[in-house]
Structure 1
Amino acid sequence: MNEAFNITGNGRIYRETLDTIKELWADFIYGGHIFAFGAICVAFMCSILFEIPITWDFLVIIYLTFYIIYLYDYFNGTEDDEKTNSTRANYFRQNDSKTITRILYGSIVSIASIYVLYSDIPNMLIGFAILFLGVTYQAYFKGLTKKITAFKNIFVSMVWAILVYVMFIYYSYPITMEALIISTFIFLRMTGIQILFDIRDIEGDQKKGLRTFPAIYGYRKGLMTLIAINFVTAILLIYGAYIEAIPYTALMIVPVIFYAQNYLDKVDRSRKDHKSYLFAAGEPFIWFVLIFSGSMFFRMVPYISEITNVL
């Protein structure tokens, strides 16, 4: 009897644990955390490339800033997600709007508190200016997507690219050619990712009259543009290293074009394969992994001959 009870109890605990994991995963993917985590990866990547010691206060500010921007955007775009991303739409229907509002305001207060305690007013103004641009896109800037082709892609990618300069300013580092090149790389990569998401939403955007790149030029040209961006970003890094404008460690990101080509091929086979878009959203994590691995490799190079002799 006790044994049967224990089995039943263990099964219940297992199911509850599994349900909790599923809820956390859904929150990470659909609640804006995946891009907030991506922003953290960009910060760590820049920290390695530019040898800028990074602190927890900056990481929390960046995480919460991007979390607020994407959570607010997704929450307000629930109706638009009905046909193109029903899973995310269902996620927000299951969450109380008052709870989400409290999370947004709580995050804003947390950011302000960190700026007051660990930084200064100029940095706070810059940070909140970026936050303001991000959260007002739906209300004030989205309409421009009906007038300016690829405005949404440029707008979102610029926010990501500015992250490099924000980091330099936060730690009082002069903005160098290295920062310009890496910022351009981030801008191009994020533009490609945004165009990929527009390929998924192409029919809906055409009905709304949004001038996204795929909606205007078609699905096939959209994919060809992404392939072109792959090669351009690789050439940018190779040329930057060649003229010694960026450290050779940056070349470790070049293989990301193969990672990107993999999810592009999957989208080409099926635009309904949501895993492909998840891989695209997680690309900044791959940048960090590649840069971190490259940094470790170049640090070990001077000692390789000694290790070989020992072996």
Structure 2
Amino acid sequence: MNEVGNITRNDRIYRETLVIIKELWNDFIYGGHLFAFGAICVAFMCSILFAIPITWDFLVIIYLTFYIIYLYDYFNGTEDDEKTNSTRANYFRKNDSKTITYILYGSIISIASIYVLYSDIPNMLIGFAILILGLTYQAYFKGLTKKITAFKNIFVSLVWAILVYVMFIYYSYPITSEAMIISAFVFLRMTGIQILFDIRDIEGDQKKGLRTFPAIYGYRKGLMTLIAINFITVILLIYEAYIGALPYAALMIVPVIFYAQNYLDKVDKSRKDHKSYLFAAGEPFIWFILIFSGSMFFRIVPYIPDIPNIL
């Protein structure tokens, strides 16, 4: 009997653990944490490329800023998600609006506190300007998507691209041509990711009259544009490294074209394959991994001739 009781208890604990893990995973994917984590990866990537010592206060500020923007956007877009992303819509329907409001305000207060304690007023004004820009998209800028083709793609991608400059300003580093190049890289990659999401929502956007690139030019041209962006970003990195504008470690991002092509091929086969969009959203993590690997490789290279002597 004791054995049966132990098995039953262990089985219950196992099921409860799986439920908790699933809830945490859903919160990470659908609650805005995925893109917030991506913003952290961009910051780490810049830290490695430009040898900028990064501190916890900046990381928390960036994480919370992007978390607030995406959580607010997803929460307000619950009805729009019913047809194209029902899983995320269900996630927000299960969450109390008051709780989300408390999270948003708590995060904003946390950001302000960190700026006051660890930074200065000019940086705080810049940081909150970006936050306000992201939060006001739904209310004031979304309507422009019906008038200006690909406005949403450009708007969102600019917020990500500005992140590079924000980091340089926060640590009082002069904004160099290298920073502009990486900012352009981030802009192009995020534009591609946003267009991919628009491919998923193409029918709904057409009904609403939104001038997203796929809604105007079609599914096939949307995919061809993404393939073109892949090649443009790779050529940009190779050329800039060749002329010495970027460190050679930046070339380690080049394999991202194969990663991106993989999820593009899956979307081409089925636009209902939500895992493909998840891989696209996680691309900034791949940038960081590739840059980190590259920096480690180029640190080891000078010592390779000495390895036989050491052995």
TM-score class, shorter-chain normalisation, is over 0.9
Matches within 5 A, 1:63-142: 63-142=63-142
Shift of 1:165: 0.2
**Aligned equivalents of 1:7 and 1:99: distance in 2?**
37
Q: Which position in structure 1 is the counterpart of 2:10?
A: 10
**Aligned equivalents of 1:142 and 1:306: distance in 2?**
59
Q: Which position in structure 1 is the counterpart of 2:170?
A: 170
Q: Which position in structure 1 is the counterpart of 2:42?
A: 42
**Aligned equivalents of 1:105 and 1:257: distance in 2?**
39
**Amino acid across the alignment from 1:217:** Y
**Aligned equivalents of 1:78 and 1:252: distance in 2?**
38
**Aligned equivalents of 2:307 and 2:193: distance in 1?**
41
**Aligned equivalents of 2:280 and 2:104: distance in 1?**
25
Matches within 5 A, 1:215-294: 215-294=215-294
Q: Which position in structure 2 is the counterpart of 1:30?
A: 30
Shift of 1:2: 1.2
SS in 1 for 2:259: helix
Q: Which position in structure 1 is the counterpart of 2:158?
A: 158
Deviations 1:108-146 (A, max 9, x none): 000000000000000000000000000110000000000
Q: Which position in structure 2 is the counterpart of 1:54?
A: 54
**Aligned equivalents of 1:254 and 1:182: distance in 2?**
13
The TM-score with structure 1 as length reference comes to 1.00
**Amino acid across the alignment from 2:180:** L
Shift of 1:308: 2.8
Report the more deviating stretch, 66-75 or 301-310. Answer: 301-310
SS in 1 for 2:143: helix
Shift of 1:310: 3.1
Shift of 1:176: 0.1
Q: Which position in structure 1 is the counterpart of 2:199?
A: 199
Structure 2 stretches lacking a partner, 5+ long: none
**Aligned equivalents of 1:289 and 1:276: distance in 2?**
19
**Amino acid across the alignment from 2:115:** Y
**Aligned equivalents of 1:262 and 1:310: distance in 2?**
41
Matched, 1:307 2:300: no
Deviations 1:242-296 (A, max 9, x none): 1111111100001100000000000000000000000000000000000000000
**Aligned equivalents of 2:307 and 2:101: distance in 1?**
56
**Aligned equivalents of 2:139 and 2:82: distance in 1?**
19
Shift of 1:3: 1.1
Structure 1 stretches lacking a partner, 5+ long: none
Shift of 1:309: 3.1
Shift of 1:307: 1.1
Structure 1 segments of 4+ aligned residues over 4 angstroms from their partners: none
Structural RMSD (CA): 0.5
Identity of aligned residues (%): 90
Matched, 1:214 2:214: yes
SS in 1 for 2:102: helix
**Aligned equivalents of 1:118 and 1:247: distance in 2?**
30
Deviations 1:72-105 (A, max 9, x none): 0000000000000000000000000000000000
**Aligned equivalents of 1:9 and 1:82: distance in 2?**
38
Deviations 1:187-221 (A, max 9, x none): 00000000000000000000000000000000000
**Aligned equivalents of 2:15 and 2:224: distance in 1?**
45
**Aligned equivalents of 1:108 and 1:307: distance in 2?**
51
**Amino acid across the alignment from 1:189:** R
**Aligned equivalents of 1:243 and 1:296: distance in 2?**
22
Shift of 1:5: 0.8
**Aligned equivalents of 1:111 and 1:20: distance in 2?**
28
**Aligned equivalents of 1:74 and 1:42: distance in 2?**
22
**Aligned equivalents of 2:267 and 2:15: distance in 1?**
33
SS in 2 for 1:260: helix
